[in-house]
């Protein structure tokens, strides 16, 4: 399995990926799922991959040479000359479709689904930052202010904290912290997501970045985050009032609200009696 998250903020972009790959629980390996495409001053892009590893590796390989031919132009579009992120993600989508043409039939014969999920984001000189999610069919969607992030892979465990924290105004370091907390929750609950982690933070309009780091479990910041988050979460939980069943003892009684659908649950006390 895999967990990757890409975040688009007014201040820039944040990308985080794990690096565990498994074919069953008894065959676990480490593969990096992030790749950076950078021409300083001209373009900066990050690609995150999830799904079948043979497919995502083929897509990455093809993407280097993929050319999108336009009728109204004799100059084919590549990720290195695309004038917009939209064109770059179209090139990526075409690479996915080329891998599909090569492999899908054989995979199907082997009972393997053609499954790949990609996040690509970045900035090309002349336009703003953009973030996309690309599906197995090569189609894609773009992040918006209402939904400033995409997740691929094992996304559920780590989603609540993203929903609670991220807005377009979140600053970059806070968003990086949020992504790491999201990853920490995911690794705690799913063995198929694991370290080391690759983190990239990109500042708007820089068209390059030095903030690229590989984080393992000895990383002092990650260790602090892991320990403090777990401990303080528990403190918050303990600080919440327990339910009390007798209204006289509390202002927040655990009682049924009158009316609506909130009828108390009927009990079956004899075999014949049914639940209404």
Q: Which of residues 139-178 bind a copy of itself (CB under 8 A)?
A: 156-157, 159-161, 163-165, 173-174, 176-178
- Could you give the count of Cα atoms lying within 13 Å of 261 in the half-sphere of its Cβ? 0
Q: How far is the CB of 133 from a copy of itself (least distance, A)?
A: 18
Q: How many CB atoms lie within 10 A of CB 142?
A: 15
Beta bridge pairs of residue 49: 118
Work out whether 193 is an interface residue with a copy of itself (CB under 8 A): no
Helix (H) or strand (E) holding 65: none
| Total Cβ atoms within 10 A of residue 195 | 18
Size of site (CB under 8 A) for a copy of itself: 90
Is residue 212 at the binding interface for a copy of itself, with CB under 8 A as the rule?
yes
* Closer by beta carbon to a copy of itself, 25 or else 65: 65
Q: What angle do CA 226, 202, 116 make, to 5 degrees?
A: 75
Q: Which of 6, 198, 202, 207 binds a copy of itself (CB under 8 A)?
A: 198
Instruction: Give the integer Cα–Cα distance in Å for 215 and 236.
Output: 27
C-alpha 269/C-alpha 248 separation (Å) is 29
* DSSP structural state of residue 156: S
Q: Is 196 in the site for a copy of itself (CB under 8 A)?
A: yes
Span 20-59, contacts to a copy of itself by CB under 8 A: 30, 32, 34-40
The two tokens of residue 63 are 């993407």
Q: Of these, 85, 200, 202, 207, which contacts a copy of itself (CB under 8 A)?
A: 200
Nearest residue to 48 via CA among 64, 59, 62: 59
Choose which of 181, 183, 193, 207 interacts with a copy of itself (CB under 8 A): 181
Among 231, 34, 40, 189, residue whose Cα is nearest residue 120:
34
Q: Which stretch binds a copy of itself (CB under 8 A): 94-102, 121-129, 133-141, 253-261?
A: 253-261
∠ Cα 86 141 172 (to 5°): 80
Q: Kindly state whether residue 249 participates in binding a copy of itself, applying the rule CB under 8 A.
A: no
User: Does residue number 182 form part of the binding site for a copy of itself (CB under 8 A)?
Assistant: no
Shortest gap between Cβ of 64 and a copy of itself (angstroms)? Answer: 6
Per-residue contact flags (x/-) with a copy of itself for residues 90 to 129, judged by CB under 8 A: ----------------------------------------
Stretch that binds a copy of itself, among 102-110, 122-130, 132-140, 205-213 (CB under 8 A): 205-213
């Amino acid at each position: 399995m895999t967990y990757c998250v890409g975040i688009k903020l007014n201040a820039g972009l944040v990308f985080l990926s794990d690096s565990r790959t498994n074919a069953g629980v008894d065959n676990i390996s480490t593969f990096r799922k992030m790749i950076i495409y950078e021409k300083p001053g001209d373009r900066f892009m990050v690609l995150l991959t999830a799904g079948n590893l043979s497919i995502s590796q083929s897509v990455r390989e093809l993407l280097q040479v993929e050319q999108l031919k336009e009728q109204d132009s004799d100059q084919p579009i590549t990720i290195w000359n695309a004038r917009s992120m939209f064109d770059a993600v179209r090139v990526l989508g075409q690479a996915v479709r080329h891998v599909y043409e090569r492999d899908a039939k054989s995979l199907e014969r082997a009972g393997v689904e053609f499954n790949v999920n990609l996040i690509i984001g970045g900035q090309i000189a002349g336009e703003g930052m953009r973030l996309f999610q690309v599906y197995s069919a090569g189609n894609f969607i773009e992040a918006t202010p209402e939904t400033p992030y995409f997740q691929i892979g094992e996304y559920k465990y780590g989603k609540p904290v993203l929903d609670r924290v991220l807005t377009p105004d979140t600053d970059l370091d806070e968003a990086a912290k949020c992504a790491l907390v999201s990853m920490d929750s995911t690794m705690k609950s799913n063995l198929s997501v694991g370290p080391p982690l690759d983190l990239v933070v990109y500042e708007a309009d820089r068209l390059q970045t030095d903030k690229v780091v590989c984080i393992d479990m000895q990383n002092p910041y990650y260790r602090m985050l892991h320990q403090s988050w777990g401990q303080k979460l528990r403190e918050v939980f303990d600080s919440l009032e327990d339910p009390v069943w007798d209204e006289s003892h509390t202002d927040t009684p655990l009682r049924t609200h009158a009316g609506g659908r909130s009828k108390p649950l009927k009990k079956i006390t004899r075999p014949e009696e049914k639940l209404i």
